[in-house]
Structure 1
């Protein structure tokens, strides 16, 4: 017997945040979910010649062998499936046009969610016409392209109260934010404020104040570090205007937050006691920000940003059908 709603989700690894979405949908007996982690699709070059061929394909702007393999994998996985009620694609720029055309024919409704500014992945502009609804967490993109506004979500709100060993904590990828992170590290060191900064970089190297690692930390390990940290630090990328998952981690775990996202002050959960906004030029943080307790936010406000409500917004599945979060 066919379940009420057949849904497919295709996305990149996304640091494990999407796993919570998948788990919650799988808990719903009325949902038949097909999930494909694009990053986990197996691929290897057959020989040296295939590597050379791939180089020239990309040189002349043709899809590479990895992209072609990804398309074939998706076709094979979906070919025996009935027509989907809804397909959600996250990071649609990772899919070939051929794959998008195939997916469009395989569903009644095809949507995508953009949790980064569209200017950071400009190829997305070329494929927007394939989607019925485009959700975006970026207010500027919503206004410019007539997208549907939707923030990221609180994916978890249970955390152990461990002994605080780091006053401030940040984990991020190595990119244009790194020089600012170094300035923050130097500032905190001079102010004798303890911190732990972890940066994922493809090549390992030594750094005086920042831990460099070559692999992404599992989300449960990050949670452990958060539990022993007083304040979380969130640095937005260039052309990033929406709120990152780091903000919603802080909300869910009731941790104070330091961020350079200026727009955060416009949200209903903003409280100057809990959130301190910095800039690249002005990043001095008053000591009393670290000394005062987190102020509880109205539960009705927090509830709006929980995963169960995100699921309702995207998939029109009633909140009471999904367990909390």
Structure 2
């Protein structure tokens, strides 16, 4: 996919989020090439205050994080647009402060409404509300917008060191992942890399490796490039597509998923994307041996950061909806 510079230029933008995966920082850096961007990340690592007991230490860490964010927003001054990712995850005082500073206010939900820790009605205060979830867009009248391709370097080398790769957090999808591992084992392919950020779960598949320290986006990207197939296991309560689908598009990787909503997307091709049953995953040998089929270039470009930012930050006066 060819590099596209941002069509959004010479704007003052404020982005407020909890960027656990590092995806929003990539967007911020991209926009900062041609705009003045203030990036406020409440998940950013802070120095541990080890001499305090655990509960007090956590409270102080949150206090210092929120205070630093207040100062960042105050320093930014008036901005053309503020984008708040998953506002339910953000301290309400920070949301209020950011919205007062902006001519245009935008929310993007990369989590399902079923997991939203705030009344849906509170989102009505935003000028535009986007969601990555088709079902939520239909039910609540939000604007549908997928995640995006966050990588720009088209010269990165890819290999097939691993037959399949996944990294995910939490325990609630480990049973599905274990069944996928068993299916690869049955097919005689054991060179997969299945990583779960969690405490070790007893009786989990021996093909799963557990770890505790968060991986950087660069580390994840390195493993993606070294893998033939990516695995996506949808979170309960989600129907939207994770970033892994857009990694697959960019790097020309096949993907195995239990999220049937991908079949409604314009880049869906059964030769590249295998939708499985969570309880009884079956991987046809043909899916493993047949070559990747490139989607049309214009389809892939639709999921670029340029297109994403152009939609989100377009002034309401230019909005055709």
**What SS does the corresponding residue of 1:279 show, helix, strand or coil?**
coil
1:195 is the counterpart of 2:192 = yes
Of the three residues 6, 27, 36, the one matched with 2:33 is: 27
Q: C-alpha displacement at 1:109, in angstroms?
A: 1.5
Q: C-alpha displacement at 1:290, in angstroms?
A: 0.6
- Alpha-carbon distance in 1 for matches of 2:130, 2:145: 6
**What SS does the corresponding residue of 2:79 show, helix, strand or coil?**
coil
Partner of 2:22: 16
- Alpha-carbon distance in 2 for matches of 1:159, 1:124: 45
Does the CA contact (< 8 Å) of 2:82 and 2:105 recur in 1? yes
Q: C-alpha displacement at 1:50, in angstroms?
A: 9.1
Q: C-alpha displacement at 1:295, in angstroms?
A: 0.5
* Pair 1:162–1:33, CA change in 2 (3 A): closer
Does the CA contact (< 8 Å) of 2:42 and 2:69 recur in 1? no
Q: Identify unmatched segments of 5+ residues in structure 1.
A: 55-63, 318-325
- Alpha-carbon distance in 1 for matches of 2:294, 2:282: 25
- Alpha-carbon distance in 2 for matches of 1:281, 1:46: 44
Counting only pairs closer than 5 Å after superposition, residues 222-261 of structure 1 correspond to structure 2 as: 222-261=220-259
When normalised by structure 1's length, the TM-score is 0.85
Partner of 1:37: 41
Of the three residues 153, 162, 167, the one matched with 2:163 is: 167
Give the number of aligned pairs: 304
Partner of 1:138: 133
CA RMSD of aligned residues (A): 2.6
1:128 is the counterpart of 2:123 = yes
**What SS does the corresponding residue of 2:103 show, helix, strand or coil?**
coil
**What SS does the corresponding residue of 1:86 show, helix, strand or coil?**
strand
Q: C-alpha displacement at 1:216, in angstroms?
A: 2.1
**What SS does the corresponding residue of 2:15 show, helix, strand or coil?**
strand
Q: Deviations over 1:173-211 (max 9, x none)?
A: 123111111111122112211311011115698962111
Partner of 1:264: 262
- Alpha-carbon distance in 2 for matches of 1:9, 1:118: 21
- Alpha-carbon distance in 2 for matches of 1:53, 1:230: 43
Q: Deviations over 1:43-68 (max 9, x none)?
A: 766975893698xxxxxxxxx65554
**What SS does the corresponding residue of 1:19 show, helix, strand or coil?**
helix
- Alpha-carbon distance in 1 for matches of 2:264, 2:273: 12
Partner of 1:307: 305
1:96 is the counterpart of 2:94 = no
Does the CA contact (< 8 Å) of 2:195 and 2:208 recur in 1? yes
* Pair 1:44–1:265, CA change in 2 (3 A): same
Q: C-alpha displacement at 1:165, in angstroms?
A: 2.1
